[in-house]
Structure 1
């Protein structure tokens, strides 16, 4: 069976811990590739020994080609700058180039914008990308899973992203109603 290939990217420093946690929680059965923008390099790549890390300036990296066969990509956090570049088709670094490849290859692309509140321009860009099939999934909390800590909240968000990627997980308590 072919190993699923996932690219995880972090653009913007706020919330970069989510992308690091995604990398740690992805199952060993997934081939992991990681990109950090210059603004998000707060964690050393040596901390992730089962991950291929890529320099964001290396636009000719293997993952920048459709023929490499990446199955999905998530950008978490996704800065408004990166989101706008993707919406306008600008591929000036490896993160935006990989996103462009996901779009042209009609592969799953999840963007987790971290800004709040969203400006009208950001919402317009998100609408444009959503109409192309890109999944816009900001890190939004839900309360039905009864999180007790920041770790629980992060697991909930990452579990929801894994659900979107088709990666089985038990990271959060799922919704259920007691039958009477």
Structure 2
């Protein structure tokens, strides 16, 4: 068990010390002496922060630094490259991000809102699916791995954001969408 400080974790994740303090307020585990268990902190950041392409708030770096334990194979036959439980979860979660974005645009929301909804709901579906697999006895998820962690990201295709933006009568500005997501997260945390 490696012990670290908030400042050292901030430097390692390339985020501000204030961001680490926000994480502590949001529930990141802290030792009684005010220091952090590095592995628990990395796991918390990688599990609790949405993966974003512009400003990931340390989540992508935490995922790279975190060393997940090896998964034990399910006793059932493999479905492609996956255990049956993961194959089913993957089949549901894989298209979810794209479908959520498409349905949001069809419902008439802005491209920024569609982007935020797709990220948020797909992430929560991944979390719910992972927790369900733990309850069902699939051992690989007991270490806070997600379905997305176990699958090649190419299996989770992104929506065609420029085409969806065109349907809303706008152009796709990823930076504007990321800023909107940041505002959406800030209001949700308040």
Both structures adopt the same fold (TM-score exceeding 0.5): no
Larger Rg: 2
TM-score normalized with structure 2 length: 0.23
Give the structure with the higher percent strand.
1
Give the structure with the higher percent helix.
2
